Amino acid sequence: MMTRKKELAIALSKLKGFKNPKVWLEQYRTPGNAASELLWLAYSLGDIEGKVVADLGAGTGVLSYGALLLGAKEVICVEVDKEAVDVLIENLGEFKGKFKVFIGDVSEFNSRVDIVIMNPPFGSQRKHADRPFLLKAFEISDVVYSIHLAKPEVRRFIEKFSWEHGFVVTHRLTTKIEIPLQFFFHRKKLERITVDIYRFSKVINSR
C-alpha cells in the first residue's frame, strides 16, 4: 500500500506507455502527477480502498494501476484499443486476478460500480469527445473522478452538464500536465497544459 502521494506519482510514471498512440482517440499517457492527484483525492475520501472501480478509457492502465496500489477491491478496465490493452495487461501483471478488461466502446459497458475514474479525450480532435464518457460514468456510478481542460468554457459546460444529469461537483483540483511531442500537429517538444481534476457525486433526491 502506498503511503505518500509522491511515491504514487513516481510508481505511475514508470509504467509503459502507448506503443502506437492513435490521434483520433487522443491517446496520451496520463501523467503520473495528475494521476496521483486524482487517485490520492479519491483515496483520502474513502472512494478507493475496498471498492469496485471502473476505469473508462483505461489506455495503458495508469489510473487502474494506481487504484489497485491503493487497495481497490477490483478494477474493470474499459478500453476500445486492443493494442493499448496489451500494454495495460503487462503493466497490471502483478495484480493478476484483481482486474478485468472490457474491450469495447464505453457506451457498450453496463456494469454498476462503486466509483468511476477516467481521463477522457479532451475533444481536441473530435468535438465533445468527453461527453460519452461522462454520460456512461453518471449512468454506472454515484461517484465519478475525471480530468478535463481547465478552461472557462469547459468549466461552465462541466457544471451544467453534470447538474443536468443529476450530479454536482464536490471537488475540483487544478494542476499542470506535460504532453510530449507525439503527433504530426504538435509544435513543441513538450506542451504544458492546465487541467482540472473533478469529483462528481450524485444528488440524492430527498422527496
Q: What confidence tens digit (pLDDT) does each residue in 71-127 have?
A: 999 999 999 999 999 999 999 999 999 999 999 999 999 999 999 999 998 766 567
pLDDT of residue 22: 59
| Residue 207 included in any domain | no
- 182 is annotated as contributing to ligand binding: no
- 191 is annotated as contributing to ligand binding: no
Domain count, the chain: 1
pLDDT of residue 4: 86
Q: What is the CB neighbour count within 10 angstroms for residue 173?
A: 16
| Residue 178 included in any domain | yes
Closest by CA to 134, choosing from 37, 202, 39, is 202
| Residue 68 included in any domain | yes
Confidence of residue 134 (pLDDT cuts 50, 70, 90): very high
The CATH number given to whatever domain includes residue 27 is 3.40.50.150
Cell 499517457 belongs to 29
- 105 is annotated as contributing to ligand binding: yes
The Cα 91–Cα 16 span in angstroms is 7
- 106 is annotated as contributing to ligand binding: yes
- 125 is annotated as contributing to ligand binding: no
DSSP lists the bridge partners of residue 77 as 55, 101
| Residue 50 included in any domain | yes
The Cα 73–Cα 119 span in angstroms is 21
| Residue 181 included in any domain | yes
| Residue 129 included in any domain | yes
pLDDT of residue 51: 98
Q: How far is CA 202 from CA 100, 143, 144, 188, in A?
A: 25, 7, 9, 40
Comparing 44-48, 54-58, 121-125, 130-134, the range with the smallest average pLDDT is: 121-125
CA 105 vs. chain centroid, Å, equals 15
- pTM, rounded to two decimals: 0.90
- For residues 43 and 130, which has the higher predicted lDDT (pLDDT)? 43
3-state secondary structure at position 29 = coil
| Residue 56 included in any domain | yes
Cell numbers for 92: 497490471
Q: What domain range includes position 171?
A: 5-202
Closest by CA to 53, choosing from 75, 38, 77, 79, is 75
The enclosing H or E element of 192 equals strand 190-202
